[in-house]
């Protein structure tokens, strides 16, 4: 059976970059959807792309954006092979610690509610002539120290540029509450809050109160929106942070576990093995 939902380990892999060659990879790309926001740029040839109920014809240099959970597919428009570059990312991870503007996830949700355009011809000002995709792919392939910060910065700049373009075209970002419910805002903003306060003693019941929800309603709504419980989300992010510290610092396992809120080292090791399949000690050895 072909399932439409494309499984994505979005909590452990917030960014994915790729190059697709129709002469090498399986093509056409069947209809599917996933929790990532995805952006494609045509680098050679042409093809048809469907997004929701709309169909687009992409030529070299054209770019298209798929909102999260939008059904989309790609098919040939000629006998010639084609190539395109792409990046998928979890918009909620593009958190910016500021009180001046709504989060990027919220702004993107508002744009989607107002049917903002998703197709950008090659001559559009949003383009960076492919350098954006090349940069992200190289950073994610090499995984040198700070690669996630570099990709995060590039994506934030691109999305800011895109939002300003939409605003120039008439999308209203001034009255967020007119386009997105308070509950949607609460759940979207709480993931940004979690990312920014991961080193604190975060508890699900406290997060529910911050969203003005009961524990049961918050837990149910969070899982419906993100596919995992809030507790699993917290554990997964802590493990990701721990892996980074194991690779790029010389701090002891005990210090890392305590900073990330684990009551004892055995609990830290157990959770790390659950999500990574190896112990923290094994990761530390490979990083030396």
Assigned CATH topology for domain 181-287: Arc Repressor Mutant, subunit A (1.10.10)
Q: For residue range 4-40, what is the model confidence (pLDDT) as tens digits?
A: 667 666 666 889 999 999 999 989 998 888 888 999 9
Phi, psi of 197 (to 5 degrees): -125, 30
User: What architecture (CATH level 2) is domain 15-168?
Assistant: Sandwich (2.60)
- What are the φ/ψ torsions at residue 164 (nearest 5 degrees)? -65, -35
Write down the domain spans for the chain. 15-168, 181-287
pTM of the model as a whole: 0.68
CA distance 156 to 209: 29
Average pLDDT of span 236-240: 83
Tokens, residue 83: 């190539």
Q: Which has the minimum average pLDDT: 133-137, 152-156, 191-195, 255-259?
A: 191-195
Q: Are 113 and 180 in contact (CB under 8 A)?
A: yes
List beta partners, residue 37. Answer: 89
Read off the pLDDT of each residue in 68-96 and give the average, rounded to a whole number. 88
Query: Hey, which of 18-22, 95-99, 101-105 has the most confident mean pLDDT?
Result: 18-22
Judge whether 15-168 and 181-287 match in fold: no
**Exposed/middle/buried for residue 77 (C-beta within 10 Å: 0-12, 13-18, 19+):** middle
Strands 54-59 and 29-32: unpaired
Lowest mean pLDDT among 16-30, 37-51, 91-105, 174-188: 91-105
Q: Output 76 or 244, whichever has higher pLDDT.
A: 76
Q: Hey, is 272 helix, strand or coil?
A: helix
CB 94 within 8 A of CB 48: no
Residue among 155, 55, 161, 70 nearest 112 (CA): 70
Check whether 130 has a pLDDT greater than 80: no
| 2 — pLDDT class (breaks 50, 70, 90) | very low
């Amino acid at each position: 059976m072909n399932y439409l939902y494309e499984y994505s380990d979005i909590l452990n892999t917030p960014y994915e970059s790729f190059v697709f060659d129709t002469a090498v990879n399986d093509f056409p790309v069947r209809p599917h959807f996933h929790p990532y926001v995805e952006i494609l740029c045509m680098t050679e040839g042409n093809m048809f792309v469907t997004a929701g109920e709309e169909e687009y014809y992409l030529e070299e240099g054209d770019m298209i954006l798929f909102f999260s959970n939008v059904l989309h597919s790609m098919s040939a428009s000629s006998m010639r092979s084609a190539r395109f570059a792409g990046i998928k990312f979890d918009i909620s991870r593009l958190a910016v610690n500021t009180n001046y503007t709504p989060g990027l996830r919220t702004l993107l949700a508002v744009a989607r509610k107002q049917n903002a355009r998703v197709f950008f011809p090659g001559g559009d000002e949003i383009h960076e002539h492919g350098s954006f995709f090349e940069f992200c792919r190289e950073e994610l392939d090499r995984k040198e120290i700070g690669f996630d910060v570099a990709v995060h910065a590039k994506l934030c700049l691109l999305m800011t540029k895109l939002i300003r373009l939409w605003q120039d075209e008439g999308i209203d970002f001034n009255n967020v509450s007119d386009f997105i419910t308070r509950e949607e805002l609460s759940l979207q903003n709480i993931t940004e809050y979690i990312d920014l306060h991961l080193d604190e003693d975060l508890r699900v019941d406290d997060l529910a109160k911050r969203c003005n929800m009961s524990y049961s309603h918050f837990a149910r709504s969070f899982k419906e929106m993100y596919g995992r419980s809030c507790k699993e989300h917290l554990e997964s992010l802590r493990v990701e942070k721990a892996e980074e510290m194991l690779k790029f610092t010389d701090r002891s396992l005990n210090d890392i576990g305590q900073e990330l809120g684990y009551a004892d080292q055995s609990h830290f090791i157990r959770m790390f093995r659950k999500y990574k399949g190896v112990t923290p000690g094994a990761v530390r050895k490979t990083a030396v």
